[in-house]
């Protein structure tokens, strides 16, 4: 760790205030270029603690930057992990208020729900599939607090990996029912297909993103509890949205899920 506790608390307060007030900020590594990975996750944990203290619940976890399309779009090379609070959830077919956000983008994802705890190190896709209750389509709405979505990995980790809103729905299927590598997806905006892909875009198999998360937590003495919802990461580049847009994700064998931006 390179930052002291007071600096970590101040940066967490700054980033969370930007989230809650829909204001952007330059990336924090401009001012703290020497901060390390542990500092970045410590700032994210402090944001989580602030939300819990105000009575929020943590209702899911996420992996991000798990596909080459996303890594290329953002100019980074390593997946990152974050959390979702209760107020991030949009009901299936529901509305997402753009006035609460800075510059939202949508991502097509496969969501996993665990039925058993997953613990690293050594977690692999076999263990993930065995511990998965079901998978279902999910759209993540990301909203980096950083100006023009310009960040590096440590800044984005501190900013809870741009987590903002999400919707899951469609048909929940057991993970063994489909080959998630060849499961096709189509993301539509206002009825037009805007992005296509298949599950293998995410680390060869979306379950690999869940295994990576379990190994990341395992290195910190933590685990993914049973009954956890996890977003495995955008399969394609993220697509910008504005008020009036309607977005639908169709996933082969899993139906569709959507939301509207107002």
- Site residues (CB under 6 A) for ligand OOG? 64-66, 70, 74, 107, 140, 142, 144, 156, 161-162, 233-234
Is residue 159 at the binding interface for Mg ion, with CB under 5 A as the rule? no
Q: How many residues does the chain have?
A: 262
Q: How many CB atoms are closer than 10 A to CB 122?
A: 10
Q: Which does 206 bind (CB under 5 to 8 A by kind): Mg ion, ligand OOG, none?
A: none
Q: Which does 70 bind (CB under 5 to 8 A by kind): Mg ion, ligand OOG, none?
A: ligand OOG
Q: Around 152, how many Cα atoms within 13 Å sit in the side-chain half-sphere?
A: 13
For the bound state, the minimum distance from the C-beta of residue 212 to Mg ion, rounded and expressed in Å, comes to 14
For the bound state, the minimum distance from the C-beta of residue 59 to ligand OOG, rounded and expressed in Å, comes to 16
For the bound state, the minimum distance from the C-beta of residue 222 to ligand OOG, rounded and expressed in Å, comes to 20
What residue number has its CB nearest to ligand OOG?
64
For the bound state, the minimum distance from the C-beta of residue 144 to Mg ion, rounded and expressed in Å, comes to 11
Q: What distance in Å separates the CA atoms of residue 203 and residue 256, rounded to the nearest whole number? A: 23
Choose the stretch contacting Mg ion; rule: CB under 5 A; options: 35-43, 140-148, 176-184, 248-256. 140-148
Nearer CB in complex with ligand OOG: 113/119:
113
Q: Which of 16, 19, 46, 140 binds Mg ion (CB under 5 A)?
A: 140
Q: Which does 138 bind (CB under 5 to 8 A by kind): ligand OOG, Mg ion, none?
A: none
Nearer CB in complex with Mg ion: 140/188:
140
Nearer CB in complex with ligand OOG: 119/208:
208
**CA-closest candidate to residue 214, choices 86, 155, 127, 84:** 127
Q: Which does 162 bind (CB under 5 to 8 A by kind): ligand OOG, Mg ion, none?
A: ligand OOG
Q: What distance in Å separates the CA atoms of residue 46 and residue 42, rounded to the nearest whole number? A: 6
Q: Around 91, how many Cα atoms within 13 Å sit in the side-chain half-sphere?
A: 2
For the bound state, the minimum distance from the C-beta of residue 127 to Mg ion, rounded and expressed in Å, comes to 22
Is residue 234 at the binding interface for Mg ion, with CB under 5 A as the rule? yes
Q: 192 has which bridge partners?
A: 189
Q: Which of 27, 29, 40, 64 binds Mg ion (CB under 5 A)?
A: 64
Residues binding Mg ion: number (CB under 5 A):
4
Q: Which does 170 bind (CB under 5 to 8 A by kind): ligand OOG, Mg ion, none?
A: none
Binding site for Mg ion (CB under 5 A): 64, 107, 140, 234
């Amino acid at each position: 760790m390179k930052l002291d506790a007071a600096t970590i608390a101040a940066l967490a307060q700054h980033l969370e205030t930007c989230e809650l007030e829909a204001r952007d900020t330059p990336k924090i590594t401009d001012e703290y270029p020497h901060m390390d990975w542990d500092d970045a996750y410590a700032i994210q944990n402090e944001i989580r603690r602030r939300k819990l203290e105000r009575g929020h619940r943590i209702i899911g976890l996420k992996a991000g930057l798990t596909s080459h399309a996303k890594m290329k779009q953002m100019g980074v090379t390593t997946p990152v992990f974050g959390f979702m609070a209760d107020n991030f959830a949009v009901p299936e077919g529901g509305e997402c208020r753009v006035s609460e956000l800075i510059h939202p983008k949508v991502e097509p994802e496969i969501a996993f729900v665990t039925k058993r705890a997953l613990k690293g190190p050594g977690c692999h896709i076999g263990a993930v599939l065995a511990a998965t209750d079901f998978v279902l389509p999910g759209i993540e709405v990301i909203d980096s607090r950083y100006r023009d979505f310009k960040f590096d990995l440590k800044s984005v980790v501190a900013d809870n990996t741009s987590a903002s809103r999400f919707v899951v729905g469609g048909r929940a299927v057991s993970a063994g029912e489909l080959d998630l590598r060849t499961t096709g997806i189509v993301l539509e905006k206002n009825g037009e297909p805007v992005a296509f892909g298949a599950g293998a875009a995410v680390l060869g198999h979306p379950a690999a993103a869940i295994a990576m998360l379990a190994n990341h937590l395992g290195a910190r003495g933590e685990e993914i509890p049973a009954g956890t919802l996890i977003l495995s990461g955008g399969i394609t580049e993220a697509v910008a949205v504005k008020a009036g847009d309607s977005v639908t994700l169709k996933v082969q064998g899993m139906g569709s899920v959507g939301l509207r931006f107002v």
